[in-house]
Amino acid sequence: MQCKYETIISNELLVPQTYRMVLTCHTCAEMVPGQFINIKLKEFSLRRPISICSIDGDRITIIYKVVGQGTKALSEMKAGECIDVFAPLGHGYPIESQRDRVLLIGGGVGIPPLYELAKQYRKLGKHVDVVCGFPNAEACFYEAEFTELGAHVYIATMDGSKGCKGTVLDAVRHYQLTTTFICACGPLPMLKALEAVYNDGYFSLESRMACGMGACMACVAKDQKQADMYHRICKEGPVFPIGKVVLA
Amino acid sequence: MQCKYETIISNELLVPQTYRMVLTCHTCAEMVPGQFINIKLKEFSLRRPISICSIDGDRITIIYKVVGQGTKALSEMKAGECIDVFAPLGHGYPIESQRDRVLLIGGGVGIPPLYELAKQYRKLGKHVDVVCGFPNAEACFYEAEFTELGAHVYIATMDGSKGCKGTVLDAVRHYQLTTTFICACGPLPMLKALEAVYNDGYFSLESRMACGMGACMACVAKDQKQADMYHRICKEGPVFPIGKVVLA
Amino acid sequence: MKQVDLHIDLPGLKLKNPIIPASGCFGFGREYAQLYDLSILGGIAIKSATIAPRFGNECPRVAETPSGMLNAIGLQNPGVDKIIEKELPWLAQFDTEIIANVAGSNEEDYVKVIEKLNNQPTVKAFELNISCPNVKHGGIGLGTDKELAAHVTKLCKQAAKKPVWVKLTPNVTNIVEIAKAVEEAGADGLVMINTMLGMRFDLKSGKPLLANITGGLSGPAIKPVALRMVYQCAQAVNIPIIGVGGITDAEDVLEFLYAGASAVEVGMANFTDPYCCVKIIEALPKVLSQYGYQSIKEAIGRSFKNE
Amino acid sequence: MKQVDLHIDLPGLKLKNPIIPASGCFGFGREYAQLYDLSILGGIAIKSATIAPRFGNECPRVAETPSGMLNAIGLQNPGVDKIIEKELPWLAQFDTEIIANVAGSNEEDYVKVIEKLNNQPTVKAFELNISCPNVKHGGIGLGTDKELAAHVTKLCKQAAKKPVWVKLTPNVTNIVEIAKAVEEAGADGLVMINTMLGMRFDLKSGKPLLANITGGLSGPAIKPVALRMVYQCAQAVNIPIIGVGGITDAEDVLEFLYAGASAVEVGMANFTDPYCCVKIIEALPKVLSQYGYQSIKEAIGRSFKNE
Ligand SMILES: Cc1cc2nc3c(=O)[nH]c(=O)nc-3n(C[C@H](O)[C@H](O)[C@H](O)COP(=O)(O)OP(=O)(O)OC[C@H]3O[C@@H](n4cnc5c(N)ncnc54)[C@H](O)[C@@H]3O)c2cc1C
Ligand SMILES: Cc1cc2nc3c(=O)[nH]c(=O)nc-3n(C[C@H](O)[C@H](O)[C@H](O)COP(=O)(O)OP(=O)(O)OC[C@H]3O[C@@H](n4cnc5c(N)ncnc54)[C@H](O)[C@@H]3O)c2cc1C
Ligand SMILES: Cc1cc2nc3c(=O)[nH]c(=O)nc-3n(C[C@H](O)[C@H](O)[C@H](O)COP(=O)(O)O)c2cc1C
Ligand SMILES: Cc1cc2nc3c(=O)[nH]c(=O)nc-3n(C[C@H](O)[C@H](O)[C@H](O)COP(=O)(O)O)c2cc1C
Ligand code: FES
Ligand code: FES
């Protein structure tokens, strides 16, 4: 966990409103899939948390969607410029080597952290199914990249313009994916729907953050069993075992 | 008077802590020497007023000293980048074509506006003496540039490391410059000292500004004769006839 | 994109759009008229008028702060007579609603200024500045005490032949109490907020940066406080509110509408970008329709009204 | 460069330098201890302790604002017993002064927390948080009324075996009045300011962004207000002041010293740059000597003291 100036290697539009950035990272050696980096941008007082999508030697890749002023500013940065990166933060997905197969389920910009995760499970020779949900075909990304890793990719689009029409769960049913150990990341409604079906695996959560490292209590989630217990999404999370925290 | 994005052509260190920037300017045609531009920098809420040093076709030159965070940010900008420039502002030095000779007196970063003024008087074939005051030899700039215009340049340095030792007034005496029509720009103590000696000519003043165009009343100077009358340095000034306003 | 209705009728003010440059940040419009046609604006709140000319405080009068600025102009203005003689006739050429901001050292001064302006057809409403932190007598004193605030409001209402808006200071423990007192005293509307009392120091001398020692903080820095106060008061009073404080773009305007404001004034942003009011007016229909509104009225008070 | 003396002795606190992370912005130091040695710090104001564990408000609890942020954490903390059991023994390893920030829903709660902490040698002083805007009972109520503020101070002073600092809220009309009342009630020092009450709205839903509706504004945005309040109070009371509000660098610290603060707390800046306290401590001697000071004491109150 360190705060360093990193250099942008590339920063390009991947699909509409969504960018991919490659940057140097001093702390690559410590990183695990599902952890995040916290980016300080000029003009903004709070850092922006973004998941690590891929770790490659001394570089990482992130994929982010422009949803507000901070991500817009990020998208306007150019190769060669420096950014202040605090990383790696949080607890990622544990790699469970005893598993034979894993089902990764991602929605939109919840997909990026699953890429490094798929990579690591594939390195262990595991069977990896990936279900990616998007609003439409135009928004789809990383199908080829996952396939290249040797993962099996299934696409769901809300308008049916690509893959299975409907949600990621519709795709799971349509393609009859029966793996019960899942790792998921995506919007809250998606996670809630998955929680109704799965109980083995991990969810990655989001929250508005301030410190990003566990000091300020901005980002808590309630424990499902102990009413008066909270977990910090930035520190104990963002990845939690299914059933650990209340999805709210 | 317009607000436009302009492109930086060059931005380089001239002498320690002092930079010269060349930039495009949409409003060059309207500009007169002694007017200023008001620069908006990212991260800063108020614009920074900087005098026009030279007008060359569709470009202008400015010379500025790094004294705080805004000028520091300006010094870090690179050729090719765009800046938001509000210009031209204020009333500059009137060109009095009936004069045969003019004595220009500048201190530090009060010198830049005198350069365009010297250029315009020289174009009219007038005799131009320029006295430039600096703390030391290392801080000297634009001696060659004024000379090239055909002006006679006299340097004063506080430590005597170049030219005459002492203030600009010491230099005037030392070099026996007898022209009584002067145009001056520089720190307040310099202008006050000049006011004790000269009564024919113009002073350019500085003030903390907000709007830079006459709307907010941030930058007023009192009239010397009418106790209850104020002039806006940004609008009626920054150039005033000697004896018009109270130097405070 | 469907046509978005930016129009709003308020006491004295038929605004074609809710954007009004704030008092003291736009002079009498002359400078900005060199940049754009003032008829584009919903209205203009002109610089505070006092009964006699005022020359204000010593310089420096302004200082920069993070996302804001301090000012201690001290209500410099040529006095109401000169304003009537020189500024109002000139302003009459524009198709926009002129709000006369009224200030004074004591209650009688307010009444006197109002009496002078009563017969000026160009002036559509009064805005009582009982909140300027930069004058020694009156000013902030009136605005921080609910009885004093109510009393000056009452006197002005009695004297005024046009609607009276009261501009509140944020430098109080309980803004709702003051808003209610002023409403009860007959105010036709509230303008909130004026600046927050602040300071900066000169690193070299160690002394206050402003000659007046303290100054009023404005700009984006104060927006969250302004929004909170508008939200609290909008639910406590039945008169309309004009929101002010840190507005720089159409999204900010939308936040103020949500909080309960019916229109807004734009202050410091005019210095950062002299075209900002025009840009906001241009962007507003797009931003409103992007979030699903066909009129500004639909957005007003949405944060506390049930759909 | 001559050696610059950063040391300052205050009631209960022998600070090797005037830099103290502010309560709620540093937890109990565990996270920051992974980044640097906490013994570098002058002191640490630990997260508010309440008598029972508190789980705080719903999320979202934070929102960004121009040069600042809003928070409505709601004093989440494990309760004073757990703090004594788990946090203080761990903190004891560091050579820095621990300030226990004390909060409660009513006066008795404050006294109870103090009684529990009285015998903890790690705690060098108490800081009464009578100013948190994010709890329903007590909190802001106590801090905005001079009698209530004085009363809780008195009770705490009676109970406390260590110096009592009182942390004031800026959300008041007259901060000097409250500072004086608290001094008279026996406070050993003032900490000012806590956050300013503010809001933001969600553009999509039109509703308040924070689940708690309102939150506390902190960060550089509030610095001019904090400086003004320190300046006013430093001239009105004889007890020392710890300045807080928007400090991000050594120059900011110098401004607070000029205003009359004897030390400072750094809050939100720890989030923007987790190393900021270290950087400030490193820069401080350079900045002080650049402006001609050989000790921080020389700069304290310089704005109103005659040389
Ligand atoms: C652990 C974690 C990992 C994330 N990984 C990714 C990723 O890989 N790709 C991606 O596109 N997005 C990711 N997000 C969401 C991303 O942080 C937000 O989209 C981003 O902060 C929005 O910033 P903005 O300035 O554009 O939006 P604004 O709405 O202008 O931001 C205002 C404030 O709200 C916060 N905020 C707004 N939306 C969110 C959000 N969804 N989650 C958390 N904070 C938010 C911002 O950080 C900022 O403090 C992640 C969030 C978390 C918590
Ligand atoms: C009409 C005019 C023409 C000028 N021409 C030049 C020039 O050609 N070259 C040059 O180097 N400088 C010039 N100055 C001074 C220049 O504006 C300031 O040095 C600059 O604004 C400092 O900004 P900063 O952010 O670095 O300093 P900071 O001290 O961080 O600035 C804080 C605030 O104070 C204002 N400020 C600080 N110093 C001054 C000052 N001396 N005058 C006015 N405002 C100030 C800034 O604009 C800003 O609003 C001119 C000033 C005026 C009024
Ligand atoms: C330079 C300046 C001068 C001002 N003068 C006045 C004034 O004369 N009367 C008044 O009621 N408010 C005055 N104000 C306050 C503004 O009208 C407005 O209430 C305040 O600046 C907050 O809005 P903003 O954040 O958009 O600037 C002044 C503000 C500034 C910055
Ligand atoms: C996330 C957060 C939590 C806070 N929690 C507390 C708290 O528990 N007790 C307290 O007295 N102040 C608390 N504060 C207020 C700070 O201690 C400080 O007074 C305020 O943030 C102003 O300083 P700053 O501008 O440097 O942040 C909190 C502030 C923030 C931002
Ligand atoms: S963001 Fe501060 S604890 Fe998680
Ligand atoms: S800076 Fe506004 S009137 Fe001069």
Q: Is C241 in the pocket of ligand 3 (CB under 6 A)?
A: no
User: Where does the pLDDT of residue C3 fall: very low under 50, low under 70, confident under 90, or very high at 90 and above?
Assistant: confident
Pairing type for strands D97-102 and D43-49 reads parallel
Are A237 and A189 spatial neighbours (Cβ–Cβ below 8 Å)?
no
Which domains are present in chain B?
2-89 (2.40.30.10), 101-204 (3.40.50.80)
Residues of D serving a catalytic function are 132
CB D36 within 8 A of CB D275: yes
Residue with structure tokens 């990341």? A185
D282 Cβ neighbours under 8 A, 6+ residues apart = none
The phi and psi torsions of C285 (rounded to 5 degrees) equal -60, -40
**Cβ of A41 under 8 Å from any chain D Cβ?**
no
* C-alpha span between D296 and B217 (Å, rounded): 37
- Average confidence (pLDDT) per 10 residues, chain B, 248 residues: 94 97 95 97 94 96 96 96 96 95 96 97 96 96 96 95 94 94 96 95 96 96 90 96 94
Contact C221, C243 (CB under 8 A): no
Helical pair C250-259 and C276-290, crossing angle rounded to 10 deg: 60
Q: Tokens at residue A163, please?
A: 């893959």
Which chain B residue has the Cα nearest residue A41?
Answer: B43
What is the distance between the alpha carbons of residues A117 and A114, in angstroms, rounded to a whole number? 5
D194 close to ligand 4 (CB < 6 Angstrom): yes
Q: Which two tokens stand for residue C176?
A: 């709702």
With b for 16 or more beta-carbon neighbours within 10 A and e for fewer, the B115-135 pattern comes to bbbbbbbbeeebebbbbbbbe
- Does the CB of C245 have a partner CB in chain D at under 8 Å? no
Q: Whole-angstrom Cα distance, residue C99 to residue C11?
A: 11
Atom of ligand 4 lying closest to residue A218 CA: 1
- Ligand found nearest the CA of B234: 6
Interface contact C59-B216, CB threshold 8 A = no
Please name every residue paired with D38 in a beta bridge, in sequence order, or none if there are none: none
* First-to-final CA distance of chain B: 28
* Contact yes or no for D61/A217 (Cβ under 8 A): yes
Instruction: Say how far apart CA C72 and CA C196 lie, in whole Å.
Output: 11
Rounded Cα–Cα distance for residues D116 and B126 (Å): 86
Predicted confidence at residue D105, as pLDDT, reads 86
Look at residues D230, D138, D236, D109 and name the one whose alpha carbon lies nearest to residue D183. D236
Instruction: Select from C154, C150, C129, C152 the least CA-distant residue to C139.
Output: C129
Establish if D172 touches chain C: CB-CB under 8 angstroms.
Answer: yes
Q: Is B43 on the interface with A (CB under 8 A)?
A: yes
* Overall average pLDDT of the C231-244 stretch: 98
Please report the pLDDT score of residue D1 as a whole number: 56
What pLDDT does residue D21 have?
Answer: 98
In chain A, at which residue ranges do the beta strands (DSSP E only) sit?
2-15, 18-24, 36-40, 48-51, 54-56, 59-65, 82-89, 101-107, 127-134, 152-157, 164-165, 181-185, 200-204, 220-222, 230-232, 239-241
As a whole number, the mean pLDDT across chain C is 94
Q: Which of D206, D208, D221 sits opposite C68 (nearest CB)?
A: D221
Q: According to the model, what pLDDT value does residue D132 have? A: 59
Q: State whether D55 and A228 contact (CB < 8 Å).
A: yes
DSSP-based three-state secondary structure for D72: coil
Q: Using alpha carbons only, how large is chain B's radius of gyration in Å?
A: 17
Peptide bond into A238 cis (omega under 30): yes
Residue D106 confidence class, pLDDT cut points 50, 70, 90: confident
Q: How far apart are CA C92 and CA A67, in angstroms?
A: 44
Per-residue pLDDT, C140 = 60
* Euclidean distance between CA atoms A4 and A111, whole angstroms: 26
Helix H, strand E, coil C: the string for C171-192 is CCCCHHHHHHHHHHCCCCEEEE
Residues of chain C found within 8 Å of residue B44, distances taken between Cβ atoms? 64
Closest CA to B98 of B126, B130, B129, B128: B126
Compute, in angstroms, the gap from residue D43 CA to the centroid of ligand 1: 33
Q: Do D274 and A86 make contact, defined as CB atoms within 8 angstroms?
A: yes
* Cβ burial C105-142 (10 Å sphere, 16+ → b, else e): bebebbbbbbebbeebebbbbbbbbbbbbbbeebbbeb
DSSP output for A73-114: HHHT--TT-EEEEEEEESB-----TT-SEEEEEEEGGGSHHH
Q: Which residues pair with D14 in a beta bridge?
A: D9
Minimum mean pLDDT among A51-60, C45-54, C136-145, D217-226: which range?
A: C136-145
pLDDT at D137 over 60: no
Residues B110, C223: Cα–Cα separation, whole Å = 38
pLDDT of residue B248: 86
- D168 φ, ψ (degrees, to nearest 5): -95, 150
Q: D85 CB contacts (<8 Å, ≥6 apart)?
A: none
Cα C214 from Cα A247, distance rounded (Å): 48
Rounded to the nearest whole angstrom, what is the distance from the C-alpha of residue C130 to the centroid of ligand 3? 12
Average pLDDT over residues D31-42: 97
Q: Which of A97, A101, A49, A99 is nearest to A74 (CA)?
A: A49
User: Hey, of C303, C304, C307, which one would you mutate to test binding to chain D, going by the most D CBs within 10 A of its CB?
Assistant: C303
Q: Which residues share a beta bridge with A152?
A: A129
Specify the pTM. Answer: 0.96
- The pair phi, psi for residue A125, each rounded to 5°, is 80, 20
* Structural element, H or E, at residue C242: strand C241-244
Tokens for A215, please give them.
């000091």
Q: Is C87:D86 a contact under the CB 8 Å cutoff? A: no
Q: Any residues with CB less than 8 A from the CB of C251 and at least 6 apart, and which?
A: C287, D203
Residue D2 pLDDT: 66
> Sorting pLDDT into bands at 50, 70 and 90, what band is C131?
confident
For residue C105, the model assigns a pLDDT of 86
- pLDDT > 90: percent of chain D: 91
Instruction: For residues D129 and D102, give the distance between their C-alpha atoms in angstroms, rounded to a whole number.
Output: 6
Give the residue among D247, D246, D244, D143 at the shortest CA–CA distance from D187: D143
- Residue tagged 């708690």 (tokens): D212
**Among A1, A219, A236, which is best to mutate for testing ligand 5, by the most ligand atoms less than 8 A from CB?**
A219
Which residue has a Cα nearest atom 14 of ligand 1? A50
Q: Tell me the longest C-alpha to C-alpha distance in chain A.
A: 49
Q: Where are the alpha helices (DSSP H) in A175-243?
A: 188-195
Facing residues of A64 across strands? A19
Distance (Å) from CA C219 to ligand 5 centroid:
28
The torsion angle over the Cα atoms of residues A164, A167, A169 and A172, rounded to 10 degrees, is 20
For residues B38 and B47, the answer to whether their CB atoms sit within 8 Å is: yes
The Cα–Cα gap between C223 and C241 comes to 15
Encode chain B in three state secondary structure.
CEEEEEEEEEEEEEECCEEEEEEECCCHHHCCCCCEEEEECCCCCCCEEEECCEEECCEEEEEEECCCHHHHHHHCCCCCCEEEEEEEECECCCCCCCCCEEEEEEEHHHCHHHHHHHHHHHHCCCEEEEEEEECCHHHCCCHHHHHHCCCEEEEEECCCCCCEECCHHHHHHHCCCCCCEEEEECCHHHHHHHHCCCCEEEEECCCCCCCCCCCCCCCEEEECCCCCCEEECCCCCEEEECCCECCC
CA atoms within 13 A on the CB side of C32: 30
| Gap between the Cα atoms of C284 and C273, Å rounded | 17
What number is the ipTM of this complex?
0.96
Structural domains of chain C, ranges and CATH numbers in brackets: 8-299 (3.20.20.70)
Return per-residue pLDDT of chain A as tens, 248 residues. Answer: 999 999 999 999 999 999 999 999 999 999 999 999 999 998 899 999 999 999 999 999 999 999 999 999 999 999 999 999 999 999 999 999 999 999 999 999 999 999 999 999 999 999 999 999 999 999 999 999 999 999 999 999 999 999 999 999 999 999 999 999 999 999 999 999 999 999 999 999 999 999 999 999 999 999 999 888 899 999 999 999 999 999 98
In which region does residue B242 sit, left (phi positive, over 0), alpha (psi from -120 to 50) or beta (all else)? beta
Structural Rg of chain D based on CA atoms? 18
Instruction: Judge: C207–D246 Cβ closer than 8 Å, yes or no.
Output: no
| Average pLDDT of the residues in D12-18 | 97
The tens digit of pLDDT for each residue in D201-234 reads: 999 999 999 999 999 999 999 999 999 999 999 9
Q: What is the strand order of the sheet C241-244 is part of?
A: C19-21, C263-266, C241-244, C189-192, C164-168, C123-129, C97-102, C43-49
Q: State yes or no: pLDDT of C1 exceeds 70.
A: no
Contact C173/C184 with Cβ under 8 angstroms?
A: no
Query: Residues 63 to 82 of C: which have CB under 8 A from any D CB?
Result: 65-68, 70
pLDDT at position B140: 96
